[in-house]
Structure 1
């Protein structure tokens, strides 16, 4: 997916929440736990179906340090994949772990996730121009998604490069637009990509394969694992 350096540029370690308060240790092992079960919703409802998860998200967003709108998107993506690819088992905690590393859940550099799931201002990574430590990816979309007609850049809260988005992007909020700057579209696209890449994400091998396909870095995998595992027990990391 050629995202190694791009992802590294947006890693921002979250500060500890509730300093001075003893919290349970982050569980070991792979895959990380699935977290609070996503309640059954009507996946075929019109419009932004993820809004049905509002109570579920509001009940844990503060202690997880995740914007409720983003958490709704992660839960919805996991629910959709549970029906579309029941053998995959991608959990919302894994999607959240990746989104945390990639963009702090759509809040990188002061961005905000709006009520409709749109991230503003748009999140755009560095040019993949082949400079030291950076992959070289010549422009594939005429700058349509990343504003760069020379080199590709990763875009959106889940940091997809344009050529990958063109192949895997999906409209998750029913607005008729496949938008990498939509937390809904980006979360479901990431879930689809992970399932295809890893197969059975309830197995250690499948989970590791999926995350390493998303970003070919062992340190990235460990960070995603730690954050997802923290979310699985109801704590921010």
Structure 2
């Protein structure tokens, strides 16, 4: 391997040799739970007109390349966490946890070629497999007549955060001010996930609270570890 060097000289006299162009060392990803909160989300006016997550685009843009999250999706996660800080300060949910879930569930709304539009809508819609009781799959007969998930026989998980219709009907919330609680909109889905996790786990700044919340979201130790690994990486500005 040949190292690159910068040579600083005046006339024929060599003054200095300085190593340059070296890559930044890989950041160490913290262990343990809960994962860190990541970069602080600035205060915004949640009562402003339009999609208030757009007020966090300037916060999200400098981080998007390092994290591998689109600016729209990252703003949604920050927006949801910031709303919960204001409405349920005892929960302490961080955007990093929501981003960890968003990656595992749908690759931040990009699974199988879907993409997140500027208004937060994920298109084409992401749908899970039929929950028909097959190997390793829970059996959940249809609860919505196929209206929400497109399947009138069995329920399917929906959207970037993968809610089943029954859960969405109970917890779904409009986060972008369009008057519709839409599981296919990442703003709505992220805030719904945050509300659900806070209700299930209590104080997510504690190990017990965070673990309880994640196990309520998906009863799997491997799922918990996968989300933790992603969230912990995001907390230090990188990805696994």
TM-score, structure 1 as length reference: 0.91
Tell me the distance in 2 between the aligned counterparts of 1:235 and 1:85.
Answer: 28
Matches of residues 132-151 of structure 1 in structure 2 within 5 Å? Answer: 132-151=135-154
1:132 to partner: Cα distance: 1.4
Q: Deviations for 1:85-130, whole angstroms, at most 9, x for unmatched residues?
A: 0000000000000000000000000100001000000000000011
Q: Please point out which of 41, 60, 78 is paired with 1:57.
A: 60
Tell me the distance in 1 between the aligned counterparts of 2:113 and 2:152.
Answer: 25
Between the two structures, name the one with larger relative contact order (CA 8 Å, sep ≥ 6).
Answer: 1
Greater per-residue strand proportion: 2
Say which SS state the counterpart of residue 228 (structure 1) adopts. Answer: helix
Give the gaps of 5 or more residues in structure 2: 1-22
Give the gaps of 5 or more residues in structure 1: 1-19
Q: Deviations for 1:29-79, whole angstroms, at most 9, x for unmatched residues?
A: 110000000011001112210000011000101100001000000000000
Question: What is the match of residue 106 of structure 1?
Answer: 109
Question: What is the match of residue 30 of structure 2?
Answer: 27
Question: What is the match of residue 164 of structure 1?
Answer: 167
1:145 to partner: Cα distance: 1.1
TM-score, structure 2 as length reference: 0.89
Question: What is the match of residue 20 of structure 2?
Answer: none
Tell me the distance in 2 between the aligned counterparts of 1:68 and 1:236.
Answer: 15
Large movers: runs of 4+ above 3 Å: none
Matches of residues 1-237 of structure 1 in structure 2 within 5 Å? Answer: 22-237=25-240
Q: Deviations for 1:11-43, whole angstroms, at most 9, x for unmatched residues?
A: xxxxxxxxx864112101110000000011001
Tell me the distance in 2 between the aligned counterparts of 1:23 and 1:142.
Answer: 49
